[in-house]
Amino acid sequence: MTIKFRMLGFLVITMILASCSPKIPFTQAIRDQYKLDAAELKHIQFYLSDPIVLRRGDNKENQKSTDEGTLIVKSGKDLEHVVFKGNTQGAVSEIVDGQKITVAFEDGAEKYLVFGSSGDRNGFYKLQALQWSGERGKINYGGQTYYSNRGSDKAILLFKMKSLRDVKVDEKIVKGKKVN
């Protein structure tokens, strides 16, 4: 009897632990191994590994005025920041090719970031930019050109994956046989 309860307890604990799936990096190897097509990719919930901040600024036109015989000149910039916190949820909006996808983190025209296989041995899907300058990238977002924060070149896509195994165990406990 106690063996059955132990076995049942072990199975329950295993199932509970298996149901908690951690976020893992999305890689080209996973995409290739499971032959993920466009429809399947669009049904996977993706997450950002690190924060990304997109910045852009426009110089204001100089404004001039006079006050009590003094010329006053105002100049400045209009700054715009788009902030994506680490762990922000995103969904695939388009398959660019066999190694790149666009991921939208909000609704809107052209409001997506491009991620692609890094080409290294890990094959992580990293943030793609039109041009990289050190750790900062030039990125199109919502029809505008932005520059990303330092370290954004390390941002990758994460996702959850469960591995389920269908194992059926038929157990019989033999009581033994006495000699006649």
Confidence tier at 141 by pLDDT (50, 70, 90): very high
Cβ atoms of 118 and 124 closer than 8 Å: yes
Residue among 155, 180, 152 at smallest CA distance from 47: 155
What average pLDDT does range 36-52 have in this prediction? 97
The residues, any chain, with a CB within 8 Å of residue 118's CB and separated by 6 or more, are 124, 125, 126, 156
Q: Which helix (H) or strand (E) holds 51?
A: none
User: Hey, how many other C-beta atoms are within 10 angstroms of the C-beta on 105?
Assistant: 20
Domain spans of the chain, in order of start: 23-160
Q: Which pLDDT value is given to residue 9?
A: 46
The 10s digit of each residue's pLDDT in 76-127 is: 778 999 999 999 999 999 999 999 999 999 999 999 999 999 777 789 999 9
What average pLDDT does range 140-153 have in this prediction? 96
Q: Which pLDDT value is given to residue 39?
A: 96
Query: Does residue 16 register a pLDDT over 50?
Result: no
Would you give the distance in Å from CA 128 to the centre of its chain? Answer: 13
What average pLDDT does range 122-149 have in this prediction? 95
